[in-house]
Amino acid sequence: MKISLTARHFELTEAIKTYVNNKLTYLAEHIHNIIEANIILEVEKNSKIIDNQIIEIHIHAPKVSVEDVHCKVSSPDLYKSIDEAIDKTLKILQKEKDKALKS
């Protein structure tokens, strides 16, 4: 699986890279058809925005009924955003995989 990590408005640390890679490994264990994962981590600098830690996940899995899955999650904590986005993406992929198996 090809993984692309992008950080916007902050510096991507080794700890965050490792955390995201571990989560993507978990995702790949459940959905074997993932070819590419593009992850965008963003911190909004506007002090009026409470949920300023944003993660966008774009997954390319051609053997699932929908080839591309997109997910965007925001929360006050970056690690919480990562967890929620991975869980949401896994649910979407499992649902699409089940659809493909029924067809």
19-78 pLDDT tens trace: 999 999 999 998 888 899 999 999 998 888 888 999 999 999 887 767 789 999 999 999
Whole-model pTM over 0.75: yes
Q: Domain map of the chain by residue range? A: 2-102
**Integer angstrom CA distances of residue 55 from 94, 100, 102:** 20, 27, 31
| Listed residue (69, 65, 73) closest to 90, CA to CA | 69
Tokens of 11: 């510096």
- Tally the residues of the chain: 103
State the CATH architecture for 2-102.
2-Layer Sandwich (3.30)
